[in-house]
Amino acid sequence: MAEASISVDQDQFSCPVCLDLLKDPVTLPCGHSFCKECINGCWDQEDQKGVYSCPQCRHTFTPRPVLHRNNMLTEVVEKLKKTELQAASPAHCYAGPGDVECDFCTGRKHKAVKSCLMCLTSFCETHLKPHLEISGLKKHTLIEASAELQEKICSEHNKLIEIYCRTDQTCICYLCMMDNHKGHDTVTAAAERAEKQSELKEEQMKSQERIQEKQKKVQELKQAVNTIKLSAQTAVEDSERIFTELISSMEKKRSEVTELIRAQEKAELSRAERLLEQLEQEIADLQRRVTELEQLSHTLDDIHFLQALASGRQSPTHDRPDFHASGIAFHQHLSFDGVRNSLSDLKKRLEEFCEEEFSKIPPQVEDVQILPSEPKRKGDFLKCEFNIWAITPEEREEHDKQFDLFTHTLGYVSGVQVRKFFLQSGLPVSILAKIWELADMGEDGKMDRLEFSIAMKLIKLQLQRHPLPTSLPIIMKQTPVPVMKSSECFGKLSARSVHVR
């Protein structure tokens, strides 16, 4: 039997209590219908009175009626729900704000689901059927509904843009290829997309590697900060322990030493915090860049991909010079032995001698610098300037009573590294023998000054005729500097100076 189509209003099947479509509907003796849960909730509040009423007509019932589901009403509500779902299906949805409209619909237009690159038209599900059923139209290229079809049309020839000119790095149509771009290196947009996609993946990998490198450096800096804090805290505790044993006249000097330690800690931490902030900012920029590249890699529109990729590489963020985390080294260990030894010695001295000793403590701490990482390649050495000096015999004779040791102060490579480096340089055997002697004797300071000078000049002449290898492993070491005897209580100084240009 044919079903009759009856137009009904949803409000006729709504519960008067919750105002939604009836759920498990029940009908009261007065004829009004409610959700079973809703009417039971109302009547539960009237249990104390013992009189139950209809929420709509206020008809009263005594005792509380037994409720049974209205099967016919339940079926009608279910069919009404199905009808609403069908009416809300994509095939019957009208285009709203921001939606692509169907170009074939008349009157109120439906939402388009596909766009044809051959017809340059967008279709709803109803008008799309010919493209899915007619053999000639099946060959057309369908894409997700797009409102930017005109951007894929050549403004000069009114043809579809599907060619990429590598010479001019722009998207063109096939008539442009035969006209203005004749003889240029051209490929299909899909082919260029495939190549750019591989470049995109490579760039993503490099960005991820740089993120990992910077994250590693962040962890190292954080560890250095903890070490600095621990070292400074230990020094403060030792200073406090020593100063508590001194008489009241030393209280002023105790505060001065504490301030020196705190000042050095503050300078070191301030430097580290600036580096942390800069590294974290660059990590955030790289992560944002990776996200953008990931989203771009999944776009299906080749033209949009190429145009967006080209515009992204011209952005200031992309061209901004990177902060090289590999060029950062951080001095993690601050030595306060000089202060501690000085204070231990001062404890045993008289009050008159304390002023003389404290006058030798510098009034200001030196600027704390984070040392760059040790150079490994020839290009790294060109950025560095090494300060290498030595104490002359005349200076020793002049201050012989004030110094208790004499040695050269040098930054040098180890003997093993010297041999490894010069074996690769192709120098003659006679020169290599002199270099071996330099490597063996230069480290303990026993080489004669004249021999040292001659060896270095020979090496310099040979290096002018032979190119340096691409990398040079170097181990920077610290050697003692002559220290005045009266200053031994402050510890033994060490020197190494590397200034980045």
Q: Which CATH superfamily is domain 393-476 in?
A: EF-hand (1.10.238.10)
User: Are 10-87 and 393-476 equal in CATH topology?
Assistant: no
CA distance 412 to 389: 12
| pTM value > 0.85 | no
Question: Quick one: pLDDT at residue 430?
Answer: 56
Answer for the pair 445, 407: CB distance below 8 angstroms, yes or no: yes
Q: Is 58 left (phi over 0), alpha (psi -120 to 50) or beta?
A: left
pLDDT at residue 165, rounded to an integer:
93
Residue length, the chain?
501
Would you kindly state where each structural domain of the chain is located, as residue ranges? Answer: 10-87, 203-298, 393-476
For the beta carbon of residue 353, count every other beta carbon within 10 angstroms.
Answer: 12
DSSP output for 250-317? GHHHHHHHHHHHHHHHHHHHHHHHHHHHHHHHHHHHHHHHHHHHHHHHT---HHHHHHHHHHHHTSHH
pLDDT of residue 479: 39
What integer pLDDT is reported at residue 491 of this predicted model?
Answer: 35
The CATH number fitting domain 10-87, selected from 3.30.40.10, 1.10.540.10, 3.40.50.1820, 2.60.40.10: 3.30.40.10
Quote the pLDDT of residue 265.
82
pLDDT at res. 469: 47
What does each of the 501 residues of the chain score in pLDDT, given as a tens digit? 444 445 556 667 888 888 888 888 999 989 899 998 998 988 888 888 888 899 888 888 888 888 888 888 888 888 887 776 555 554 457 878 878 889 888 878 888 889 888 888 899 988 898 998 888 888 888 888 887 777 788 888 878 888 999 999 999 998 999 888 988 999 998 899 888 998 999 999 999 999 999 999 999 999 988 988 998 888 888 878 877 776 666 677 777 778 888 887 888 888 888 989 999 999 998 999 888 888 888 888 888 888 887 776 655 555 555 555 555 555 556 667 777 777 777 777 766 666 776 677 555 544 444 455 555 554 555 444 444 444 455 554 544 444 333 333 333 444 444 455 555 555 555 555 656 555 555 444 455 555 556 666 666 665 665 554 444 444 333 434 343 333 333 333 333 333 333
pLDDT value for 485: 37
**CB–CB of 88/95 below 8 Å?**
no
The predicted structure's pLDDT at residue 261: 80
